[in-house]
Amino acid sequence: MKTILLSLVVLIIPVLSGFAKVTGMLTGIKGKVGTSVFTMWKGVQVLKTRTIPSNPQSEDQTKFRTCFSQIVAMLKPLAINTIRPLWNPFTTVRQSGWGNVLKANLDVMNGTFDESKLILSKGSLEGVENLAATYDTVTGNVVITWNDNNYTNGLSSDLVTYTLIDDENVQFDQIVDPDTDEEKGEETDTVIAPSGLTATDLYLILTCYRVDAVSGDITMVSDSQIVNCSAPV
């Protein structure tokens, strides 16, 4: 008898925009009946049209999700030592450095992950020219060279920080501590990475930044620059 009454209610209740108020003796009912759902709202029995959330799986959406997952996996190990100091000082109240770096990488990759486009910083400070890096698989030495040409707002006393990415093994290592970075005017530096890797699997990412002499805070950063390592000649 109860099943018959429920069916009758569903038939006679007008549903407007997927939502209707139920009056009469049938109150306190919860559950699904066909394509409708009984529930309580502020003490009132209501009937809603049952909807099934969609999970779009189009080619473009699947491609975007894959790209996003790869970006997150690759940036996560760098979140504290690299992303936080290079992004957080330049965010507003409603922003986060982590959210901004994810957006920057999603925009530049446009749905297709490409480690050669990876972004670790964005800013107005002038970077370097002719960035290059060689990796010696025996010693693990990474020799980094660049030209310090200050055409706009760059200074030879600006600092540079490096991050080395092993594309083959999907490993990410910040190989220089930001507190002891090289000055841009030096135009060369040698850092030690694990030996036995393949030079063409390695990417060197460089960022220039400026520190306030009094507070020690980072006040300016450059766009990060990335270069594929090569073997020594």
Q: How far is CA 97 from CA 66, 83, 138, in A?
A: 22, 7, 37
pLDDT at 81: 85
How confident is the model over 16-54, as pLDDT tens digits? Answer: 444 445 555 555 556 666 667 777 776 676 777 767 666
60 pLDDT above the threshold of 90? no
- Spacing of C-alpha 167 from chain mean position: 17
CB 75 within 8 A of CB 84: no
Q: How far is CA 185 from CA 113, 162, 177, 218, in A?
A: 33, 15, 18, 18
Is the model's pLDDT at 56 over the cut of 70?
no
- pLDDT of the residue at 131: 97
Three-state secondary-structure class, residue 86: helix
Per-residue pLDDT at 37: 74
User: Using one digit for the tens of pLDDT, what is the confidence trace for 72-85?
Assistant: 988 888 888 889 99
In the CATH scheme, what architecture does the domain 59-228 have?
Sandwich (2.60)
Q: The whole model's pTM is what?
A: 0.72
pLDDT at 36: 72
Residues 82, 117 contacting (CB under 8 angstroms): no
Q: What percent of the chain has pLDDT over 70?
A: 74
Under DSSP, the state recorded for 83 is: I
97 contact partners, CB below 8 Å, separation of at least 6? 83, 84, 86, 87, 88, 90, 91
pLDDT at 54: 67
* Per-residue pLDDT tens over the stretch 97-131: 999 999 999 999 988 999 899 999 999 999 999 99
Higher pLDDT, 34 or 233: 233
Q: What is the mean pLDDT of the chain?
A: 80
Residues of the chain with CATH 2.60.40.10: 59-228
pLDDT at 93: 80
User: Are the beta carbons of 132 and 114 closer than 8 angstroms?
Assistant: no
